[in-house]
Amino acid sequence: MNAKRFLRPAIWFIMFVLVAVMLNNFLSNGDSPEHVDTARAIHEVEDGNVSSALIIGGDVQRIELTLNDGEEIWAYYVEGQDLELESELRQQARDGTLAEGYDVDIPQSNPWMAVLGTVLPLLLLVALIIFFISRMQGAGGRMMQFGKNKAKLASKDAPKTTFADVAGANEAIEELHEIKEFLQEPAKFQAVGAKIPKGVLLYGPPGTGKTLLARAVAGEAGVPFYSISGSDFVEMFVGVGASRVRDLFKEAKENAPAIVFVDEIDAVGRHRGAGMGGGHDEREQTLNQLLVEMDGFDVKTNVILIAATNRPDILDPALLRPGRFDRQITVAAPDLDGRRKILEVHARGKPLAPDVDLMTVARRTPGFSGADLANVLNEAALLSARNDAKVITPKFMDEAIDRVIAGPQKSSRLMKDEEKRITAYHEGGHALVAAALHHTDPVHKVTILPRGGALGYTMVLPDEDKYSTTRNEMLDQLAYMMGGRAAEELVFHDPTTGAANDIDKATTLARRMVTQYGMTERLGAIKFGSDSSEPFLGKEMGHQRDYSEEVAGQVDEEVRKLIETAHQEAFDILVENRDILDSLVVALLERETLNKEEVAELFLEVRKLGRRPAWTGSATRKPSELGPVDVPVKISSNGSEADHSEETATVGADQPSLGGSGSADETSGS
């Protein structure tokens, strides 16, 4: 590499010198005297038309004459044959007829310069020809390499990633541990007739550690690890991707046992024939070749394909069938204990203050992925360095969480006192309604400091992870979302645009309750609308309405009813607790931010909303007629109640939240 860097500028310098010499010769030849025969030269001398003369010696001498009119000519002069020419010149020089005199000195020309002037142009021409030929050969070589794979082979000298560097994904690690054992001891499995999965698909939300898990498998097994992105296979020329797939698996088989990791496999493994314009020839040929290569594996090949994607729903079914990706591992967002372990991994090498409790940070970050948690610690370290602090304190950690959730604080945004007062009542309305309901999560923070795109926000987070949501909890969420709008109407009688995002989230949740979760008595437990969207179609184009106009009107009525009921509940709570709302606003205007303990102290005397009537649903008899039901509850190994329902209304990522499972309002600046 260093030789190439040295030779390339040297070659260009030599070519530049050659071009300069050629140009100099060309220009000098353009100004040279006119070549005439010896007879004319003698005639000009005899007529006295020569003002000066110069003889250049050599085997074949040359005489240069400058005429009286300034013209310059030259002719060959052979000594001993044209003595009269030399005699005449000498005579005129003695008589003073030559104006400039006659130079009797005979300078000898440099033979090397003559040779150089003749040979250099030829050398330059040959060098240019060789240069262009080599460039064409290089281009041809690159064309021949066009179908080669672009996979990167992990260096054995590079720091290895092991399972100890991965936290919060215990189930995935357990599944992949078997892959490691097979690569290290394949005979152990072959002895009992076991076949290791040919392909392992890691799927889950972005940032949960899919690529990290694949590197950990390679680091643990100590085998060659080829990594490539799905987009590296696809080119504008049909057939190139298939060629790269063949070359990749050929190289992996030659170095078996090995791991081939394809990140973002959905770029090449999408459903074939999908889209309004049909399929994509290059992508489909690449996918076909990938399917063939995976079928070509045998038990003794010892090459395992690991792929990662966050869109398993758009992958081709042939790719997911047993025999190809027989093992599909979900890499989900970590739970509370997983978040604590991830924080411990990323806290290595960072000076934490003694009062920083990573478990507290884990409780404040429900729904965060591993990448989010790493970002929290990195932001806290940056804030510490920015403030010239030697350690990361809880203050910096708290600010880092807020930055990741809602964005950086807008310290340059100045609000008028009246606008700040409106924001305080808006956020106070959210917090007070959340405190007065029976199925909402605790309020962790209320602030009127602008952050991100909001003028203020209320953070409501659960004390523990939740994986399903009841109907009453969703109704409480609707009332909580409408709390800001209800406070504006109650106090100012003039609502603002700050509730735009609240209304959007509430409408979305209410429509899902009606059309997906079956939580209205009028329409019952029926799903309305089907999602048969194709990968290349827009979301709206993929949704089909499989119900009549009459049912559509009923759906709209039920959605409106849910929103209006929630709005009224929020309004009633604020009217009942108006004195507490005013006290909360005064505290917000003074301190701008209230934490969980400060909010809880203000809400000690909150008068809660009455319990809602029992849910009857679509049952033919009321619950009171059915009598008590003893629901068996399984107790998990850690003493907590396990889920006893096979089908529950899961909200997950669709739940209106700030930072995952916890809900928060960040809409005051909408």
Span 49-76, average pLDDT: 70
The answer to whether the CB of 436 falls within 8 A of the CB of 406 is no
Tokens coding 113: 């310069």
User: Which residue out of 64, 427, 569, 666 is catalytically annotated?
Assistant: 427
Contacts of 316 (CB under 8 A, 6+ apart): 269, 270, 271, 272, 287
- How does pLDDT run across 507-533, given as a tens digit for each residue? 999 999 999 988 888 888 888 876 554
205 is known to lie in a ligand binding site: yes
Q: Return the CATH number of 163-270+282-330, one of 3.40.50.300, 3.20.20.140, 2.30.29.30, 3.40.50.1980.
A: 3.40.50.300
The region of weakest confidence among 42-56, 255-269, 532-546 is 532-546
- How does pLDDT run across 149-189, given as a tens digit for each residue? 555 566 555 667 788 888 888 888 888 888 778 877 777 88
Give, in order, the Cα–Cα distances in Å from 487 to each of 68, 269, 415, 433, 546. 110, 51, 19, 10, 39
- How does pLDDT run across 83-93, given as a tens digit for each residue? 566 666 766 66
The answer to whether the CB of 615 falls within 8 A of the CB of 520 is no
* The pLDDT of residue 21: 63
Q: Return the CATH number of 336-406, one of 3.30.365.10, 1.10.287.990, 1.10.8.60, 3.90.1150.10.
A: 1.10.8.60
Beta partners for 101? 52
Q: At what angle do helices 83-95 and 38-46 cross, to 10 degrees?
A: 30
* The pLDDT of residue 634: 39
* The pLDDT of residue 151: 57
Tokens coding 578: 């108006």
pLDDT greater than 90 at residue 478: yes
Q: Is 644 exposed, middle or buried (0-12, 13-18, 19+ CB in 10 A)?
A: exposed
* The pLDDT of residue 667: 39
Give, in order, the Cα–Cα distances in Å from 287 to each of 228, 240, 269, 305. 15, 12, 6, 14
Q: CA–CA separation, 567 vs 555, rounded Å?
A: 18
* The pLDDT of residue 141: 47
Span 246-275, average pLDDT: 77
- pLDDT higher at 423 or 327: 423
Span 530-552, average pLDDT: 62
Mean pLDDT of the chain: 75
Q: Return the CATH number of 3-21+34-105, one of 3.30.720.210, 3.40.50.720, 3.40.50.1100, 3.40.50.300.
A: 3.30.720.210
- How does pLDDT run across 353-402, given as a tens digit for each residue? 888 888 888 888 888 888 889 899 999 999 899 888 889 988 889 888 88
In the structure, what pLDDT confidence band is assigned to residue 635 with cuts at 50, 70 and 90?
Answer: very low
pLDDT greater than 70 at residue 552: yes
In the structure, what pLDDT confidence band is assigned to residue 491 with cuts at 50, 70 and 90?
Answer: very high
**Residue 272 CA to chain centroid, in angstroms?**
25
The answer to whether the CB of 247 falls within 8 A of the CB of 149 is yes
Span 15-23, average pLDDT: 65
**Phi and psi angles of residue 539, each rounded to the nearest 5 degrees, phi first:** -60, -45
Identify the three-state secondary structure at position 614. coil
- pLDDT higher at 644 or 505: 505
Residue with tokens 């081939």: 260
Q: What percentage of residues in the chain have a pLDDT greater than 90? A: 14
- How does pLDDT run across 559-601, given as a tens digit for each residue? 999 999 999 999 999 999 999 999 999 999 998 888 888 899 9
CA neighbor of 281 nearest in space, from 234, 314, 249, 318: 234
206 is known to lie in a ligand binding site: yes
Q: CA–CA separation, 49 vs 21, rounded Å?
A: 35
Beta partners for 50? 67
In the structure, what pLDDT confidence band is assigned to residue 636 with cuts at 50, 70 and 90?
Answer: very low
In the structure, what pLDDT confidence band is assigned to residue 535 with cuts at 50, 70 and 90?
Answer: very low
| The amino acid at 518 | G
* The pLDDT of residue 273: 66
Q: CA–CA separation, 131 vs 15, rounded Å?
A: 10
* The pLDDT of residue 468: 85
Beta partners for 72? 66
- pLDDT higher at 123 or 494: 494
Around Cβ 105, how many Cβ atoms within 10 Å?
7
* The pLDDT of residue 508: 93
Longest CA–CA separation in the chain, Å? 150
Identify the three-state secondary structure at position 315. strand
Contacts of 24 (CB under 8 A, 6+ apart): none
The answer to whether the CB of 332 falls within 8 A of the CB of 205 is yes
Greatest mean pLDDT range, 40-54, 68-82, 290-304? 40-54
The region of weakest confidence among 100-104, 199-203, 537-541 is 537-541
* The pLDDT of residue 483: 94
* The pLDDT of residue 655: 34
* pTM higher than 0.85: no
The region of weakest confidence among 104-108, 346-350, 654-658 is 654-658
* The pLDDT of residue 140: 45
In the structure, what pLDDT confidence band is assigned to residue 208 with cuts at 50, 70 and 90?
Answer: confident
**Phi and psi angles of residue 11, each rounded to the nearest 5 degrees, phi first:** -65, -45
Tokens coding 315: 């992958």
Q: Kindly list the domain boundaries of the chain, sorted by start residue.
A: 3-21+34-105, 163-270+282-330, 336-406, 417-527+550-603
| Bridging pattern class, strands 101-103 and 50-56 | parallel
Q: CA–CA separation, 656 vs 652, rounded Å?
A: 9
* The pLDDT of residue 649: 36
208 is known to lie in a ligand binding site: yes
Q: CA–CA separation, 173 vs 350, rounded Å?
A: 26
Strands in 358-515 per DSSP E: 443-447, 457-460
Tokens coding 467: 């994986």
Tokens coding 322: 């047993």
The answer to whether the CB of 545 falls within 8 A of the CB of 529 is yes
Beta partners for 327? 200
Active site residue 427: yes
Does a cis peptide bond (omega within 30 degrees of 0) precede residue 257?
A: yes
In the structure, what pLDDT confidence band is assigned to residue 450 with cuts at 50, 70 and 90?
Answer: confident
Buried/exposed code over 137-163 (b: 16+ C-beta within 10 A; e: otherwise): eeeeeeeeeebebebeebeeeeeebeb
Provide CATH code, domain 417-527+550-603: 1.20.58.760
Give, in order, the Cα–Cα distances in Å from 538 to each of 59, 206, 528. 90, 21, 20
* The pLDDT of residue 631: 46
Q: CA–CA separation, 46 vs 43, rounded Å?
A: 5
Identify the three-state secondary structure at position 279. coil
CA neighbor of 505 nearest in space, from 469, 542, 479, 543: 479
* The pLDDT of residue 581: 92
Greatest mean pLDDT range, 274-283, 373-382, 443-452, 615-624? 373-382
Span 243-264, average pLDDT: 80
In the structure, what pLDDT confidence band is assigned to residue 416 with cuts at 50, 70 and 90?
Answer: confident
Beta partners for 53? 65, 102
Residue with tokens 């807008």: 410
644 is known to lie in a ligand binding site: no
In the structure, what pLDDT confidence band is assigned to residue 624 with cuts at 50, 70 and 90?
Answer: low
207 is known to lie in a ligand binding site: yes
pLDDT greater than 80 at residue 1: no
211 is known to lie in a ligand binding site: yes
- pLDDT higher at 668 or 337: 337
CA neighbor of 478 nearest in space, from 513, 444, 451: 513
pLDDT greater than 90 at residue 651: no
Q: What is the radius of gyration, based on Cα positions, of the chain?
A: 43
CA neighbor of 266 nearest in space, from 208, 315, 321: 315
- What is residue 408's DSSP assignment? -
pLDDT greater than 80 at residue 664: no
- pLDDT higher at 61 or 433: 433
